Structure 1
Amino acid sequence: MSAAHPAWTTPAALPSFLRPLARHAAVGDAVLGRALQEAPRDWTPRRSAVLVLIAGQEVEDAQILLEERSHTMRSQPAQFALPGGRAEPEDADDAATALREAREETGLDPADVHVLGAFAPILMPFRDATVSPVLAWAPRPPALGPTDPAEVESLLWAPLAGARSLTDPAIHRIGVLDGRATGVAFDLPGDAFVWGFTAMILDAVLGGLELPGMPVAAADAPRVEVPAVRRRPGPGARR
């Protein structure tokens, strides 16, 4: 656990359902239980960050921003992901990286959101990188859209609660790739199958809300093969 960032304050208007999660983010807790301290001492990975943007004033109308990656991307084409990417030298911190990438990909104005904190970096040795999930909140979903079709195909505001939402057990799955379980997945409406790294972050974030009666994806959820359109390999990593 790290000290709270001096710029990360909890706005007075922050909904009560988000406050437990914001407390974890403000001090850099490990959202997936895997922190940078576990990395080999001689390993210097690339830093990257993703934006976990939750919009809404009540849990019943709250939504999380996801983006469908371009179907022509060289890495993970057509998969659903959180806005984000690699850190640049001019980025002051992980929050700056996540906000810059979100602006480049969706047109997000950083002034429209409150940054609540950044969870501990997650190791991704297979990509020689770490990823820091940055938590942010907006009272209502900002007007956004894909800014570069070469990177983003479409945007999706995934609801937190209600039928066919991220917390509806009816859409929870265990993803399977060529017979091997990949972990939690969400079979959202509109052919929006979310799996892999993004689904793991979403599952952890939902659990961090600590709301009674709000289930996270269960280990006994149906096992389903990841749809072909969401699993196409790319010829090489792009970011």
Structure 2
Amino acid sequence: MSELPDWLTPLLTRLRDTEAGDFTRLPTPDGEGQRRSAVLVLFGEQPGSGPDVLVLQRAATMRNHAGQPAFPGGAVDPTDADTIACALREAEEEVGLDPSTVEVVATLPTLWIPVSNFLVTPVVGWWRSPHPVGPADPAEVARVERLPIRDLVDPANRLRLRHPSGWIGPAFRIHDMLVWGFTAGVLSTLLELGGWAVEWPTDRVEELPAPGAATVG
């Protein structure tokens, strides 16, 4: 294992004791009838902007999750050895990530997404050798961004969104994207666990924009 940056150590230390309840109020089913999937939560660092995390924005023409920012990831294939292999394969297919440049440092508890009935395992990686990435297939991925931690924790970029179902969750308005749902929930918890989060106006609640409008800041 290569030497990890000091700023990542507190997060990894706290992740050892996390449970699904630290990330969601929804109990994780036993796996009967759900499909397994994985996402890659890839932390990196850039000169001048500091630590960051990689996200992509789904193409607006996709049938599911159109225009929504997300971590690279998808369903586990029969050929995947495990959820780590799935997360790395999906990132390679979606944004052209070279898996050999990533050091997997943790896996989070498996979380349930009711709307798709997926059991998702977030895989945390350290991007030890960053390289250019971008949409591998523009029909699926519109753009790829590295979001600086300093921008994610900026109170001006944080809010909560109310879904038509009544659900209210964390969100980020950053880099002309509105990050919400599963991705924002995981990010919000990781910012807290990493000791990066600062106080922000949690009473700033907005309605979820209509489909097609939710990605414009």
Q: Does the alignment pair 1:215 with 2:198?
A: yes
Partner in structure 2 of residue 23 of structure 1:
13
Asked if 1:136 is matched to 2:125, the reply is: yes
Candidates 82, 100, 103, aligned match of 1:93: 82
Q: Which amino acid aligns with 2:109?
A: A
Contact 2:23 2:186 in 1 (8 A): no
Residues in 1 aligned to 2:182 and 2:200: alpha-carbon distance in whole angstroms: 14
- What are the residue-to-residue correspondences of 1:41-120 with 2, within 5 Å? 41=30, 43-56=32-45, 61-120=50-109
The alpha-carbon deviation at position 168 of structure 1 amounts to: 0.3
Match of 2:138 in 1: 149
> Shift in Å at residue 223 of structure 1?
1.4
Length-normalised TM-score, structure 2: 0.86
Selected match of 1:227 from 206, 209, 214: 209
SS in 2 for 1:193: strand
Structure 1 SS opposite 2:115: helix
Q: Give the unaligned 5+ runs of structure 2.
A: none
Q: 1:41 to 1:84 in 2, by over 3 A?
A: closer
Letter in 2 for 1:197: F
Whether 1:200 aligns to 2:189 is no
Instruction: Say if 1:147 and 1:42 are closer, same or farther in 2 by CA, change over 3 A.
Output: closer
Q: Aligned partners of 1:227, 1:126: CA distance in 2, in Å?
A: 18
Q: Is the 8 A contact 2:72 2:91 kept in 1?
A: yes
For the structure 1 residues 127 and 179, does the alpha-carbon distance in structure 2 shift closer, same or farther, using more than 3 Å as the test? closer
Q: In the TM superposition, what is the alpha-carbon distance from 1:69 to its structure 2 partner?
A: 0.1
Task: Confirm whether residue 125 of structure 1 aligns to residue 114 of structure 2.
Answer: yes
Inter-CA distance 18–218: structure 2 relative to 1 (3 Å threshold): farther
- What is the root-mean-square deviation in Å for CA atoms of aligned residues? 2.7
What is the letter of the counterpart of residue 19 of structure 1? T
Tell me the percent identity: 36
Cα contact 1:206–1:216 (8 A) shared by 2:
no
Q: Give unpaired runs (5+ residues) of structure 1.
A: 1-8, 233-239
Aligned residues: 213
Counterparts of 1:154-193 in structure 2, within 5 Å, are: 154-161=143-150, 165-178=151-164, 180-189=166-175, 191-193=176-178
Q: Distance in 1 between matches of 2:194 and 2:48?
A: 10
